[in-house]
Structure 1
Amino acid sequence: MLLMKAVKFMPDANFTAAFFSIFFSIIVISMTNLANQLFSYMVDYIANFHQENNAANLNRQPIKAFVTQQGLLKRGAAVIWFLGSALMLYGVWAEKMK
């Protein structure tokens, strides 16, 4: 926006609304992707910790379920992140659809 002011470009309300919607959409997608990657890393880290340092209790619940179902846990979290980002993107773009 500062660059637009520097070149004396005065955008109308539609351009400003679209610009901020695109900008916030990129932020929402980036942050949900980052959150998903961090969650995946945490699941791997916790599972590796238990496999290396808690081998005696790997056959007990809930550790057994956690270690054996890592993929399902990651996919479930990815679905939750996707639905959350879809809701946020709907909030960003719903006003522009009117």
Structure 2
Amino acid sequence: LHKGDGGHGLFIQLTDDPAMDIDIPDTPTTSAATMTFGPLIAAQALGDRQALLDTGRTVIRFHLGRDSAGGLKRLTKMVTKMNITPL
């Protein structure tokens, strides 16, 4: 989520591949579906990233894959090894 950074934000985006994808019904009265939430969420994340880049914001994206918990653990280990001192 992002709102009102005054143009100075650094945005970190975490994405994953859903372990379970859920159908989006084509109409309110039918269960037939031609789309699922997985691609919708992925498209939203890519659109958000592009919107930030288009306005000159700095964005870094980490895609955690299908095992989001495992991906987050790997990311945490990598960041910890970097030994970065907070500002």
Q: What is the TM-score with the length of structure 1 in the denominator?
A: 0.31
Identify the structure with bigger relative contact order (alpha carbons < 8 Å, sequence gap 6+).
Answer: 1
Q: What is the TM-score with the length of structure 2 in the denominator?
A: 0.34
The structure with the greater share of residues assigned to helix is 1
Larger Rg: 1
The structure with the greater share of residues assigned to strand is 2
